[in-house]
Amino acid sequence: MKNVLIISHKSPFDGLYIRDALDTTLIYAAIDQNVSWLLLDSALLAIKSTQSAAHLGLKDFFKTIKTLEIYDVEQVYVCELAMQKYQLDQQQLSIPVTVLSKSQQQALLQQQDMVVNL
Amino acid sequence: MKNVLIISHKSPFDGLYIRDALDTTLIYAAIDQNVSWLLLDSALLAIKSTQSAAHLGLKDFFKTIKTLEIYDVEQVYVCELAMQKYQLDQQQLSIPVTVLSKSQQQALLQQQDMVVNL
Amino acid sequence: MNINTVHMLSKPYSYYSTIQLDKLIASNDALLLIGDACYDHASYMGLSDKCYMLESCATARAISVDTGINLISDIEWVALVDNAKKSITW
Amino acid sequence: MNINTVHMLSKPYSYYSTIQLDKLIASNDALLLIGDACYDHASYMGLSDKCYMLESCATARAISVDTGINLISDIEWVALVDNAKKSITW
Amino acid sequence: MSKFVLSLHTSVADQHCLQNLSRFAHAALQSGHQIDCIFLYQDAVSHASEHLQLASDELDVKSVWQTLAELGIPLMLCVTAAEKRAIDINNTGLFKVAGLAEFAMLSAKADKWVQFK
Amino acid sequence: MSKFVLSLHTSVADQHCLQNLSRFAHAALQSGHQIDCIFLYQDAVSHASEHLQLASDELDVKSVWQTLAELGIPLMLCVTAAEKRAIDINNTGLFKVAGLAEFAMLSAKADKWVQFK
């Protein structure tokens, strides 16, 4: 079993980046790897709650993010600075996350066997 | 006749952005519009001299940039801060340019009838 | 109100850091936030006193309205662009 | 020399400003500049004492060598990645 | 009444951008303006490919374009951009294959060019 | 000897990125390593389209892939990424249509995964 980290750093509707990262995270969970997802900067906004892509006529991938819990993906990390920048607290997020300082993010990267930047 | 400004702000080998901007600039010159090209930040590096894309097995679009002079495109502008950042002076550029401060760039934008960001 | 340029932005402010947008926006310009730029309205507000945000984009992102930013409809969006000399999509 | 992570970069430093790379690079990591990152070697050099640049990419861009940066061949590139625990392509 | 030309620059994977262009186009026509052309340039040429396959809960991209075409807006794509991005220029559906010069001339006669990216 | 998997993420318009991947792959084989797969993901699925038309002074993209295939490297593309980007998944040339899970399993068995973007 490998420690695999998926990194996202694009905003929610920038291309399909967040959706690709979510797919990849779920797949590594399905094949029993020790997978984590790190949301840097504006990627954090993908897990802001009460949003509706359907309001724009687009697929509501915000709902799909909740399937992480069904697949037991519990290691979702967000950047402390991004939380401050976008004035979010954990109650405003759609899934449970661990908030990391920059030095904790550095340590997280060091522990991984593979890191995938999407 | 319209004042048309083409803006580039991506580095030379980032996709086809610089080549698209060059094509567009040449076309507006060919249809007799008053065209200018503004190279912001790392886009400036596209007109650094003595480079060779052929060395990488790629099309040598650095040579194509010189066709601007043949089509009488004389209004090529670069950012003063980018010149400093990449430690370039005008002798190291492949074509004659006008170096603009940020406030001069703001004035340039104001004068235009159309601005195309590529 | 004569607007020279409507600057259309669809990403958070830091996405445009290489361009140094703040120095390119003139006092007679307007900012229009669409798409993911709406998340970051706080960063944009200081750049211009004419700051607009597309209402549908803000609503989908559960963004509450601040004073100092004007929520506009699609029809008002067209009017904003039409009344300006030009627009730039960054 | 045990390298944990080789950070592969192909764009000028400011392209990565939202990621705050400087805080993610550890002391036992290496930087590898390829493509357009080579233009901006001056900005990268302070981030790590193990800084590499792909020779073919630098030559094509008419970049002269600085002390403190190691020009490497394709074969050395593979060895660098193979000897590290992993690589991250930013 | 103003004459607009619109250009799209992002690939078919960016559905939000297409949606924004479409909303703007509809609102412009409702406001009594004229749209002389929607032009696919750069990565947007992928919108002319006939092979898009999306699930039913995704934006119906095909019908967005169909509706714009039915409103009488000329839809064009840049042939050189398409060739460099591996788009089949012999099967471009609703889009007319055109040169960049053709679009540039339309834009020079228009009052406003609005880019979507 | 290590087992590598490589993935490409940029579209067929980014010839420099393909060239870098190709150089790395050749150097890896020369160094005695094994490459279990090159995987087209995200925008790179456009490399599987058969409609690329480039002038003779451009990189010969087709022959870059042909050479990698002849070295025995399995070439694969992500089917869901392709469907969302309007790539014809029935005509993918040298590339085998695969699921993301298939590649993920290969990567889990590999020593190194190197992304190119």
Domains and CATH numbers, chain B: 3-117 (3.40.1260.10)
The beta-strand segments (E) located in F1-100 are: 3-8, 34-40, 75-78, 96-98
Find, among B118, B97, B100, the residue nearest to B110 by Cα.
B100
- Confidence band of C31 (pLDDT split at 50, 70, 90): very high
Whole-angstrom Cα Rg for chain E: 13
Across the interface, do F117 and A16 touch by the CB < 8 Å criterion? no
Which pLDDT tens digit goes with each residue over F74-115?
999 999 999 999 999 999 999 999 999 999 999 999 999 999
ipTM of this predicted complex? 0.97
Beta carbons of B14 and D40 less than 8 Å apart: no
Active site residue E78: yes
Searching chain C, which residue's CA lies closest to the CA of residue A88?
C39
Q: What pLDDT was estimated at residue C1? A: 61
What amino acid is encoded at E3 in this protein?
A: K
Express each pLDDT in B62-101 by its tens digit.
999 999 999 989 999 999 999 999 999 999 999 999 999 9
The amino acid present at F108, given as its one-letter code, is A
Element (H, E) at F30: helix F15-30
| Cβ atoms of residues A9 and D19 within 8 Å | yes
- Do the two chains C and F touch, given a threshold of 8 Å on CB pairs and at least 3 pairs? no
Looking at the predicted structure, is the pLDDT value of residue F5 above 90?
yes
Cβ atoms of C20 and B105 within 8 Å: the answer is no
Of E18, E38, E48, E78, the active-site residue reads: E78
* B17: closest CA of chain F, how far (Å): 10
List Cβ<8 Å contacts ≥24 apart for A84-88: A85/A41, A86/A42, A86/A44, A86/A45, A86/A48, A86/C39, A86/C40, A87/C42, A88/A44, A88/A48
Q: Which two tokens stand for residue A107?
A: 């340590």
> Is residue C23 very low, low, confident or very high in pLDDT (cuts 50, 70, 90)?
very high
Average pLDDT, chain A: 96
Q: Which of D36, D60, D62 sits opposite B42 (nearest CB)?
A: D36
Interface contacts (C, D; CB < 8 Å): 11
**Is the Cβ pair F104, A28 closer than 8 Å?**
yes
pLDDT at C9 over 80: yes
In this prediction, residue C65 carries a pLDDT of: 77
Mean pLDDT for the stretch of residues E86-95:
98
- What tokens were used for C50? 């004419």
Q: Supply the DSSP symbol for C77.
A: H
Mean pLDDT confidence for F24-41: 98
Q: Which residue of D has its CA nearest to B9?
A: D15
Residue A74: the pLDDT is 93
- Partner-chain contact D60 B42, CB within 8 Å: no
CA distance to B17, B36, B84, F11, per residue, from B75 (Å): 19, 5, 20, 32
* Chain F residues near residue A118 by CB distance under 8 angstroms: 9, 42
- Angstrom distance (rounded) from CA B80 to CA B99: 6
Say whether A56 and C57 touch across the interface (CB within 8 A).
Answer: yes
**Rg for chain F, CA atoms, rounded:** 13
Q: Residue C62 and residue A53: Cβ atoms within 8 Å? A: no
**Contact indicator for B75, B35 with CB cutoff of 8 Å:** yes
CB-CB contact of F95 with F39 (8 Å): no
Residue found under tokens 């590290």: D84
Q: Is the pLDDT of residue E75 over 90?
A: yes
CA distance D61 to chain B (A): 5
Contact exists between B and C (3 or more beta carbon pairs < 8 Å): yes
Q: Looking at A31-100, list the stretches that DSSP marks H as alpha helix, in order from N- to C-terminal side.
A: 61-64, 67-70, 80-85
Q: CB neighbours (10 Å) of residue B45?
A: 22
Chains near A, with 3+ CB pairs < 8 A? Answer: C, D, E, F
What pairs with residue C70 in β-bridges? C52
Question: Using a CB-CB distance cutoff of 8 angstroms, which residues of chain F are in contact with residue D88?
Answer: 115
pLDDT grade for E52, boundaries at 50, 70 and 90: very high
Rounded to the nearest angstrom, the minimum Cα separation between C44 and chain D is 16
CA distance C18 to chain D (A): 6
Interface of C with B in 58-77 (CB under 8 A): none
Contact D26 A105 (CB under 8 A): no
What is the mean predicted confidence (pLDDT) over F22-48? Answer: 98
pLDDT band at D1 (very low <50, low <70, confident <90, very high): low
Task: pLDDT band for E85, please (50, 70, 90 cuts).
Answer: very high
* pLDDT for the residue numbered B88: 96
Residues 6+ apart with CB under 8 A from A19: A61, A64
DSSP type of residue D18: G
DSSP readout, E46-87? GGG-S-----TTS--HHHHHHHHHHTT--EEEEHHHHHHTT-
Catalytic residue among F21, F68, F75, F78: F78
d(CA C78, CA C87): 11
Average pLDDT, chain C: 95
Domain ranges of chain F: 3-116
Q: Do residue B58 and residue F19 have CB atoms under 8 angstroms apart?
A: yes
Give C68's pLDDT tier (boundaries 50, 70, 90): confident
Q: Which of residues 12-41 of B touch F (CB under 8 A)?
A: 13-16
Cross-chain residue pair E24–C86, CB shorter than 8 Å: no
Query: Has residue B54 got a pLDDT over 90?
Result: yes
Predicted local distance difference test score (pLDDT) of residue C90: 98
In this predicted structure, the answer to whether residue C67 has a pLDDT above a threshold of 90 is no
List per-block mean pLDDT (blocks of 10 residues) for chain A, which spans 118 residues: 97 97 97 97 97 94 92 95 96 97 98 98
CB contact under 8 A, B16 and F59: no
Edge-first strand listing for the sheet containing A3-8: A98-100, A76-79, A34-39, A3-8, A114-117
Q: List C62's β-bridge partners, or say none.
A: none
Q: Rounded to whole angstroms, how far apart are CA atoms B11 and B44?
A: 8
**Residue F20: pLDDT above 90?**
yes
Tens digits of per-residue pLDDT, B4-24? 999 999 999 999 999 999 999
Domain E3-116: state its class: alpha beta
pLDDT at residue E23 above 80? yes
Nearest residue in E to C84, CA atom: E112
Query: pLDDT tens digits for D22-76?
Result: 999 999 999 999 999 999 999 999 899 999 999 999 999 999 877 789 999 999 9
Q: Is D10 on the interface with A (CB under 8 A)?
A: no
| pLDDT at site B101 | 97
Task: List Cβ neighbours of F19 (8 Å cut-off, separation of 6 or more).
Answer: B56, B57, B58, F59, F64
Q: Is D86 helix (H, G, I), strand (E, B) or coil?
A: strand
Residue C64 has pLDDT above 90, yes or no: no
Q: What percent of chain E has pLDDT over 90?
A: 100
Local confidence band at D8 (pLDDT 50, 70, 90 cut-offs): very high
